[in-house]
């Protein structure tokens, strides 16, 4: 569950109005926690991505190509400090071009 303050911030951000994979704005957009760190969902704005419900449900065990695309999008939204903090097991810098 997304903390209320963070959810309010997300709901005001135009980035979260469209699926970050398809660009679709119609239909239900789910907020996908893309980063699990130390066994917990990271409750940071960069780590929560808008994904169309059909993709989110279909890829609940998210396929590697979708996961890689989500990682690219997430990494591009991370600060240098966040990259340093969370690039322990996976180096998220490799997703930034």
pLDDT in tens, the chain (97 residues): 899 999 999 999 999 999 999 999 998 999 999 999 999 999 999 999 999 988 776 655 566 788 899 999 999 999 999 999 999 889 999 998 7
| CA-closest candidate to residue 41, choices 79, 3, 12 | 3
Residue 32, both tokens: 């996908």
Tell me how far apart the alpha carbons of residues 3 and 71 are, in angstroms, rounded to a whole number.
Answer: 22
Residue 49, both tokens: 């991505």
Q: Residue 23, by phi and psi: left (phi above 0), alpha (psi -120 to 50) or beta?
A: left
pLDDT at 61: 58
Task: Count CB neighbours of 66 within 10 A.
Answer: 16
pLDDT at 65: 82
Tell me how far apart the alpha carbons of residues 29 and 16 are, in angstroms, rounded to a whole number.
Answer: 8
Radius of gyration of the chain (CA): 13
């Amino acid at each position: 569950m997304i903390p209320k303050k963070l959810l309010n911030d997300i709901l005001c951000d135009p980035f979260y109005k469209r699926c970050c994979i398809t660009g679709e704005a119609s239909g239900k957009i789910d907020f996908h926690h893309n980063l699990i760190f130390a066994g917990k969902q990271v409750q940071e704005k960069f780590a929560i991505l808008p994904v169309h419900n059909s993709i989110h449900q279909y890829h609940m065990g998210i396929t590697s190509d979708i996961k890689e695309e989500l990682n690219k999008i997430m990494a591009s939204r991370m600060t240098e400090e966040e990259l340093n903090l969370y690039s322990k097991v996976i180096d998220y810098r490799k997703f930034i071009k």
